[in-house]
């Protein structure tokens, strides 16, 4: 298996060459282009997340498994959002990542969906993915990725945390002295302590969601 | 205080390093990382007078138009230096401008942050009103002394006025006070409606203009209809 | 006419210097800045399909902006979505573009809408194709970066990632595999190419961005 990043850093895609016997697991919808010898299987591997608030019930996580038939072949994966891709060698460890950051993996890696949240009135938080095992993991960010070696304390607005090693403790809270929970004015903050790697992105999906809000069509009464 | 601007690929960001006693202000949503000793004070921006932005609903609309209703002020809590990372909402570059000999007028959505000595007028009404003023013409006037951070959707470049330059409103980042300008349509009513061109500003005279390569409204117009409808 | 592409690969835009009475045609809303004396007019482009053509052009208006002046002048145009802008000199040859990829051209270049098939039409993908021919300068854009592929045999492209291809290639539009794969796989429609020729693909798609953002909406 070989891989190559193209169009780095901001519109990165990863081209992966698979040999017979090798399997690439990828987020549904990530395939951008591929050779004729590539085949696909679809499974709901991540499992279903139930009952955590109206927004997340039934949120499922589909992954496709790609393999080749006959000759080796190339498949390209591209994330939905502009930004970096990080190929990360996992060595029998656990990473927690923002749900939309997962792109694909090869090797003995398991993924499961979890809710890492601030169980306050608004049930805000992160829909996260727990990634465990050994192998090569591809994850992406919205924007530039900055790797921070936390040793002590570090604070990040929750929307900007992409992934972190499970060896880090963290708590989710709010910025102090905020007036109300009103979009930009009140930020959900993640405070990390301990020792471990934290990947931070320079753009926030939630802020993008707020920005696009007025451009969306309005529901009509009979919908 | 020092500000480090990084523009890597398509994404810009700024890292502001503060000493005890120093202050920096930003759009409330701009902070994406901060050292543990940073005090973040979020406050509403006062809206004096009526006009377009009097009501809270209008304030929310201003926020969506790119101008946040809230400003955050950063100071260190203890006696050691601290840092705060700032980034814009969309992809794009960040630039640092010097306020002092120049007073800058920033377009809505371009204002990202400023050091303590910069005076910000967030209800700048000095802009000449064309037939379509108000909607989409939100500007912030930065005067005083210090450093101003602006962000763009796309790449920032500086253009020369020469014999006169016409800039589509969606591509303006900032310009210096003193330039003369008119607000209108690129090709007259019908031609502009058909060719899809929106409001433009025609500049004359002396000064500096920063433009951005892309227009946020075109992204919004393309992406919005593809998303599920919203409640009101 | 002289031109310069600035900002590639992330934020490509084209700055064109037109000589007296030279014309530049650009997609709707593409003008970012121009000499103040430059005239912006409009022109209807392409062949006749009525209202359907607006959808076929993936939202791009049937009308394009036309920029010209007896004294000449400068005009800068930018695409709707950020990424790499490419110039292609047309010399009587043909190339297929997806409708969303068209940015600008000079008047000697011909644009013809090609019906991509009913599947593509109903999917809402801006996968509509336009056939470009004639003589002159063509500017097209990608969302994200552009990768050139030399195909010799078969190749599959997720429809949203297609930018352009050479007419020597045959194509068909379909789902990914069996029905379960197509429905659940998350892949939209794919285009399967056969033959010998070049394909240009982009690394981001508008529908991919919409899909990524949807679970995060308020």
Span A139-190, pLDDT tens digits: 999 988 889 898 888 878 777 888 999 999 887 776 654 333 333 345 567 7
Residue A112 has pLDDT above 60, yes or no: yes
| Contact yes or no for B195 and C66 at CB 8 A | yes
Q: At what angle do helices A205-212 and B216-223 cross, to 10 degrees?
A: 80
Low-confidence ranges of chain C (pLDDT < 70): 44-63, 115-127, 175-188, 218
Residue among A7, A57, A186 with most chain C CBs within 10 A, to mutate? A7
| Contact yes or no for A218 and B230 at CB 8 A | yes
- 8 Å CB contact between B31 and B25: no
* Nearest to A102, CA basis, from A157, A160, A48, A28: A28
**Confidence class of residue A126 from pLDDT cuts 50, 70 and 90?**
low
Please tell me the predicted confidence (pLDDT) of residue C177.
53
Judging contacts by C-beta atoms under 8 Å, the chain C residues touching residue A212 are 213, 217
- Work out the angle at residue B157's Cα, subtended by the Cα atoms of residues B151 and B162, and round it to the nearest 5 degrees: 130
What top-level class would CATH report for the domain A2-213? alpha beta
Residue B166 has pLDDT above 50, yes or no: yes
Please tell me the predicted confidence (pLDDT) of residue C120.
54
Dist CA C45 CA C104 (whole Å): 12
Where is mean pLDDT largest: A207-221, B4-18, B191-205, C44-58? B4-18
Residue A82 Cα, gap to closest chain C Cα (Å):
7
| Contact yes or no for B157 and C218 at CB 8 A | no
**Confidence class of residue B51 from pLDDT cuts 50, 70 and 90?**
very low
Please tell me the predicted confidence (pLDDT) of residue B192.
64
Indicate the helix (H) or strand (E) that contains C213. helix C206-213
DSSP-derived pairing of the beta strands A145-157 and A188-201:
antiparallel
| Contact yes or no for A152 and B90 at CB 8 A | no
Please tell me the predicted confidence (pLDDT) of residue B127.
57
Reading the block at residue C117, the tokens are 């098939």
Per-residue model confidence as pLDDT tens digits over C114-143: 765 555 555 554 447 888 999 999 999 999
Of C154, C158, C215, the CB nearest to A32: C158
Please tell me the predicted confidence (pLDDT) of residue C149.
97
Over residues B191-203, the mean pLDDT reads: 74
Report domain extents, chain A. Answer: 2-213
Per-residue model confidence as pLDDT tens digits over B106-140: 986 899 999 999 998 876 655 554 434 444 456 88
Of C35, C63, C79, the CB nearest to B195: C63
* Nearest to C51, CA basis, from C42, C41, C61: C61
Dist CA C58 CA C205 (whole Å): 13
Locate tokens 């607006």: which residue? C54
- 8 Å CB contact between A37 and A72: yes
| Contact yes or no for A186 and B42 at CB 8 A | yes
Residue B59 has pLDDT above 60, yes or no: no
Locate tokens 């008119």: which residue? B182
Residue A206 Cα, gap to closest chain B Cα (Å):
9
Cα Rg of chain A (Å, integer): 19
Judging contacts by C-beta atoms under 8 Å, the chain C residues touching residue B181 are none
Residue C18 Cα, gap to closest chain A Cα (Å):
32
Q: Is the peptide bond before C9 cis (omega within 30 degrees of 0)?
A: yes
Reading the block at residue B72, the tokens are 């955050």
Dist CA B146 CA B102 (whole Å): 10
| Contact yes or no for A11 and C204 at CB 8 A | yes
| Contact yes or no for C83 and A11 at CB 8 A | yes
Reading the block at residue C148, the tokens are 């050139």
Lowest mean pLDDT among B79-93, B111-125, B189-203: B189-203
- 8 Å CB contact between C159 and C188: yes
**Confidence class of residue B13 from pLDDT cuts 50, 70 and 90?**
very high
Q: Residue A54's CB: how many other CB atoms inside 10 A?
A: 8
Q: At what angle do helices A205-212 and C206-213 cross, to 10 degrees?
A: 100
Q: Which residue of B has its CA nearest to C58?
A: B222
Report the CATH number of the B2-225 domain: 3.60.160.10
Per-residue model confidence as pLDDT tens digits over B168-177: 988 999 999 9
DSSP secondary structure string for all residues of chain B: -EEEEEEETTEEEEEEEE-TT--EEEEGGGEEEE-TTEEEEEEEPP--SSGGG-SHHHHHHHHHTT--SEEEEEEESSSS-EEEEE--SSSB-EEEEEESSS-EEEETTTEEEEETTEEEETT---SPP-TT-STT--EEEEEESEEEEEE-SS-EEEE--TT-EEEEGGGEEEEEBTBEEEEEESS-HHHHHHHT--EEEEEESS--EEEESS-HHHHHHHHGGGSPPB--
- Work out the angle at residue B152's Cα, subtended by the Cα atoms of residues B15 and A9, and round it to the nearest 5 degrees: 70
Touching subunits of B (3+ CB pairs, under 8 Å) are A, C
* Nearest to A30, CA basis, from A13, A9, A50: A13
**Confidence class of residue A105 from pLDDT cuts 50, 70 and 90?**
very high
**Confidence class of residue B53 from pLDDT cuts 50, 70 and 90?**
very low
Of C33, C207, C218, the CB nearest to B159: C33
| Contact yes or no for B223 and C80 at CB 8 A | no
């Amino acid at each position: 298996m070989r891989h190559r990043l193209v169009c780095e850093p901001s519109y990165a895609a990863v081209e992966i060459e698979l040999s017979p016997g090798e399997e690439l697991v990828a987020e549904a919808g990530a395939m951008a282009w591929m050779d004729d010898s590539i085949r696909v299987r679809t499974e709901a591997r991540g499992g279903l997340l139930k009952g955590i608030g109206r927004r997340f019930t039934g949120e499922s996580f589909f992954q496709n498994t790609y393999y080749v038939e006959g000759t080796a072949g190339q498949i390209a994966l591209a994330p939905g959002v502009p930004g970096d891709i990080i190929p990360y060698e996992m060595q029998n460890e656990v990473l927690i990542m923002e749900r939309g950051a997962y792109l694909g993996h090869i090797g003995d890696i398991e993924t499961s969906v979890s809710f890492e949240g601030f169980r306050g009135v608004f049930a805000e938080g992160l829909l996260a993915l727990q990634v465990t095992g050994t192998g090569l993991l591809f994850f992406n960010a919205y924007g530039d990725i900055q790797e921070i070696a936390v040793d002590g304390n570090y604070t990040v607005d929750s929307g900007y945390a992409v992934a972190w090693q499970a060896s880090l403790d963290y708590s989710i809270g709010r910025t102090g002295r905020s007036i109300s929970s009103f979009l930009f004015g009140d930020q959900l903050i993640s405070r990390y302590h301990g020792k471990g790697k934290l990947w931070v992105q320079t753009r926030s999906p939630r802020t993008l969601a707020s920005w696009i809000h007025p451009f969306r069509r309005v529901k009509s009464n009979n919908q | 205080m020092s500000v480090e601007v990084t523009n890597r690929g398509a994404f810009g960001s700024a890292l502001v390093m503060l000493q005890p006693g120093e202050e920096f202000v930003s759009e409330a949503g701009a902070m994406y990382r901060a050292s543990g000793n940073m005090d973040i004070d979020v406050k509403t921006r006062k809206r004096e007078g009526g006009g377009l932005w009097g009501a809270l609903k209008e304030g929310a609309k201003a926020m969506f138009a790119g101008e946040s209703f809230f400003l955050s002020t950063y100071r260190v809590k203890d006696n050691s230096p601290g840092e705060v990372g700032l980034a814009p909402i969309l992809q794009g570059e960040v630039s640092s401008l010097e306020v002092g000999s120049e007073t800058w007028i920033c377009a809505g959505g371009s204002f990202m942050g400023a050091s303590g000595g910069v005076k910000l007028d967030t209800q700048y009404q000095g802009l000449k009103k064309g037939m379509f003023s108000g909607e989409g013409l939100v500007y912030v006037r930065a005067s005083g002394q210090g450093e101003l951070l602006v962000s763009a959707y796309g790449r920032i470049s500086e253009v020369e006025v020469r014999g006169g330059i016409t800039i589509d409103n969606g591509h303006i980042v900032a310009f210096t006070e003193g330039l003369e300008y008119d607000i209108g349509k690129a090709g007259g009513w019908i031609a502009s409606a058909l060719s899809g061109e929106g409001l433009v500003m025609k500049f004359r005279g002396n000064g500096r203009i920063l433009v951005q390569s892309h227009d946020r409204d075109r992204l919004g117009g393309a992406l919005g209809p593809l998303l599920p409808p919203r409640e009101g | 006419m002289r031109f310069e592409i600035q900002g590639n690969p992330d934020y490509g835009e084209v700055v064109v210097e037109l000589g007296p009475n030279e014309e530049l045609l650009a997609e709707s809303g593409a003008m970012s800045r121009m000499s103040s004396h430059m005239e912006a007019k409009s022109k209807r482009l392409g062949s006749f399909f009525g209202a359907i053509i607006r959808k076929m052009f993936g939202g791009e208006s049937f009308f394009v902006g036309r920029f010209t002046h007896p004294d000449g002048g400068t005009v800068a145009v930018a695409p709707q979505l950020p990424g790499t802008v490419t110039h292609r000199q047309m010399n009587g040859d043909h190339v297929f573009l997806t409708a969303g990829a068209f940015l600008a051209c000079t008047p000697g270049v011909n644009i013809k809408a090609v019906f991509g098939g009913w599947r593509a039409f109903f999917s809402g993908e801006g996968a509509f194709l336009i056939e470009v021919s004639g003589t002159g300068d063509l500017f097209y854009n990608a969302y994200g970066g552009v990768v050139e592929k030399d195909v010799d045999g078969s190749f599959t492209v997720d429809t949203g990632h297609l930018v352009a291809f050479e007419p020597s290639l045959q194509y068909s539009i379909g789902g990914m595999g069996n029905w379960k794969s197509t429905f659940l796989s998350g892949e939209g429609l794919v285009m399967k190419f056969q033959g010998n020729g070049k394909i240009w693909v982009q690394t981001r798609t508008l529908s991919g961005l919409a899909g990524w953002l949807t679970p995060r909406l308020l």
